[in-house]
Amino acid sequence: MTRGRVQRRLLVLALFPALALLAPLLARALPADAPQAIRALTPVPFDPDATDLATRLRPPDGTHLLGTDDLGRDVLSRLLHGARVSVLVGLAAAALAFAAGTLLGAAAGTLGPGVDRAVLVVTGVVQAFPALVLVAAGAAMAPPSRWTAALLIALTAWPEAARLVRAEALRLSASPYVEAARAAGASPARVVLRHVLPGAIAPAIASLPYVVGGAVLLEASLSFLGLGVPPPTASWGRALADARESLTSAWWCVLPPAAALFLLVLSARKAGEALSESR
């Protein structure tokens, strides 16, 4: 696959965190005393939590481009601000899982059979349970917040990176330059961090977009179950949960967050495929 195609797929994936970071700017309304012709062009109110029961379940129009939900909140505003939870929690969880998985995988492949067996046992235990079950159990006992969700998701997502890095580290640990570093008196930590990890990390980088997509889905599942960020904070999973009662009468409450989740996971998968094929 050409480098340009890889860059395009990564750029599409990068649009989602960009929208999350720019949500306060994109979801901003003009002052109420602005001319009507100009105010009609403003996309959404600034406050995603502002309720107005007089405008509840309003279909898309010139003022609310994606309509309003059952509390009169603007759907587009909550979609943009919800990305700040769903997307950024997914990215944070993927980063933590990547860091933990690469370090454990490199240690397992370099520091001998004892460490290798220990890491494989822990990896097997974590992967033996569905990730959603483990994350939901942890979320039920921990204070709800976006950082709690990111940490819990990371604790279930690191084994994939660990397995990939371990396999590469096993090969590199027998290479002449690693043996030379050991013979020169390099400490085990230096061997892992300086001589093995830089060469073994590539497979985990290629799998990172898949981890991002899975982490975003897990966060949305937590919020849908009521175990994610507390209300009224907007998130895509909570938007889907809030729209259950109006599923047949107000499609505009369901379709935008569902489409956002689908497009993000699809973009992550395509980016992961591109990185894997370019190796």
Q: Using alpha carbons only, what angle is made at residue 104 by residues 101 and 107, rounded to the nearest 5 degrees?
A: 145
pLDDT band per the 50, 70, 90 thresholds, residue 105: very high
Residue 97 has pLDDT above 50, yes or no: yes
Mean model confidence pLDDT for the chain: 85
Q: Quick one: 247 exposed, middle or buried, by C-beta within 10 A (0-12, 13-18, 19+)?
A: exposed
Whole-number pLDDT of residue 28: 56
Paired tokens of 176: 């002449």
pLDDT digits (tens, 9 = 90+) for 7-31: 888 898 899 998 888 887 777 544 4
The better pLDDT of the pair 268, 29 is held by 268
Contacts of 162 (CB under 8 A, 6+ apart): 100, 101, 102, 104, 105, 108, 119, 123
pLDDT band per the 50, 70, 90 thresholds, residue 37: very low
Whole-number pLDDT of residue 153: 94
Any idea where the domains of the chain sit in the sequence? 3-17+75-278
Q: Is 68 helix (H, G, I), strand (E, B) or coil?
A: strand
pLDDT band per the 50, 70, 90 thresholds, residue 1: low
* DSSP letter, residue 192: I
**CA 43 to chain CA mean position, Å:** 26
Q: How far is CA 122 from CA 119, 125, 126, in A?
A: 5, 5, 6
pLDDT digits (tens, 9 = 90+) for 114-156: 999 999 999 999 999 999 999 999 998 888 888 899 999 999 9
Whole-number pLDDT of residue 262: 94
State the Cα–Cα distance between residues 224 and 217, nearest whole angstrom: 10
- Contact between 229 and 145 under an 8 Å Cβ cutoff? The reply is yes
Q: Report the percent of the chain where pLDDT is more than 90.
A: 36
CATH superfamily label, 3-17+75-278: MetI-like (1.10.3720.10)
Whole-number pLDDT of residue 229: 84
Whole-number pLDDT of residue 30: 45
- Which of 15, 2, 3, 11 is CA-nearest to residue 260? 15
Q: What average pLDDT does this structure show over 194-198?
A: 85
pLDDT digits (tens, 9 = 90+) for 67-78: 889 888 888 889
pLDDT digits (tens, 9 = 90+) for 153-181: 999 999 999 999 999 998 888 788 888 88
